[in-house]
């Protein structure tokens, strides 16, 4: 039997979730400091949070100037609003509408790349065939500041279909980057138990709707 490999957590969404949690209202300079230290070690995502993205030959940042907590909070507030669909159980007509509108308003130039396909295509990925090979196109926004870079992560996730891996914990409201899009609770915490205990207390005779949908 073929064993399916667990899906990899999208490291960009993971960095974005960490950013959104570390800059939530009430976040302290200490939390922001510790986020910056954590993310700086991350070779690919780290540069998203610093003004200077120059690196030396070994890939370390050269004199990174990080954005202030105040600036970070403003960016966070905008993104948080655009992700309101994550925090409602209502059926929305256009859940991704506000995010799409913000991305359109940013008018980011795109970087297009068309490379030969190595390995398996993603489900639904468009493939060109010529010159004895298969080709896939990638279009990525070109960003010049932290706000554009973070929205760029969201744009790519929206287009590639990985955006559902960004979720919010139903109990504590923290952002999560998950492998399984049905996961709705922080791992290794009491968030899931707290949530279902409250549901049980509030409606002891009913099977909570969320328990069928979100029990992960």
Helices (H) and strands (E) in the chain, counts: 7, 5
Helices 69-82 and 97-106, axial angle in degrees (round to 10): 130
Contact call for residue 20 and Zn ion (CB under 5 A): no
SS3 state of residue 167: strand
In this chain, which stretch among 43-51, 139-147, 152-160, 178-186 interacts with Zn ion, using CB under 5 A?
178-186
Smallest distance, Zn ion to C-beta of residue 182, A: 15
Q: Which is nearer to Zn ion, 52 or 189 (CB)?
A: 189
Q: Is the CB of 76 or the CB of 192 nearer to Zn ion?
A: 192
Residue 99 interacts with Zn ion (CB under 5 A): yes or no:
no
Q: Is 153 in the site for Zn ion (CB under 5 A)?
A: no
What are the angstrom distances between the C-alpha of 73 and each of 23, 40, 48, 79, 155?
6, 18, 15, 10, 20
Which secondary-structure segment (H or E) carries 140? strand 133-141
| Contact with Zn ion (CB under 5 A) among 15, 191, 192, 196 | 191
Check residue 170 for interaction with Zn ion (CB under 5 A). Answer: no
Closest distance to Zn ion from the beta carbon of 99 (Å):
22
Q: How far apart are CA 16 and CA 96, in angstroms?
A: 17
For Zn ion, which residue has the nearest CB?
Answer: 169
Number of chain residues interacting with Zn ion (CB under 5 A):
6
d(CA 215, CA 41): 34
Q: Does 24 bind Zn ion (CB under 5 A)?
A: no
**Which spans of this chain sit near Zn ion (rule: CB under 5 A)?**
169, 171-172, 174, 186, 191
């Amino acid at each position: 039997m073929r064993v399916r490999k667990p899906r990899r957590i999208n490291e960009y969404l993971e960095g974005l979730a960490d950013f959104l949690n570390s800059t939530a209202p009430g976040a302290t300079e200490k939390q922001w400091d510790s986020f910056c230290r954590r993310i700086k070690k991350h070779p690919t995502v780290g540069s998203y949070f610093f003004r200077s993205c120059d690196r030396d030959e070994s890939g370390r940042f050269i004199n990174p100037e990080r954005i202030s907590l105040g600036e970070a909070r403003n960016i966070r507030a905008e993104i948080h609003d655009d992700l309101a669909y994550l925090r409602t159980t209502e059926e929305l007509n256009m859940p991704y509408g506000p995010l799409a509108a913000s991305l359109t308003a940013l008018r980011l130039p795109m970087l297009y790349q068309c490379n030969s396909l190595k390995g398996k295509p993603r489900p639904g990925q468009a493939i060109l065939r010529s010159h004895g090979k298969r080709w896939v196109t990638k279009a990525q926004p070109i960003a010049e500041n932290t706000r554009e870079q973070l929205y760029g992560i969201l744009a790519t996730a929206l287009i590639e279909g990985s955006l559902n891996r960004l979720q919010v914990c139903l109990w504590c409201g923290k952002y999560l980057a998950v492998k399984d899009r049905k996961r709705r609770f922080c791992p290794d915490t009491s968030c899931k138990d707290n949530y279902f205990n409250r549901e049980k207390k509030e409606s002891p005779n009913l099977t909570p709707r969320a328990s069928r949908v979100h029990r992960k």
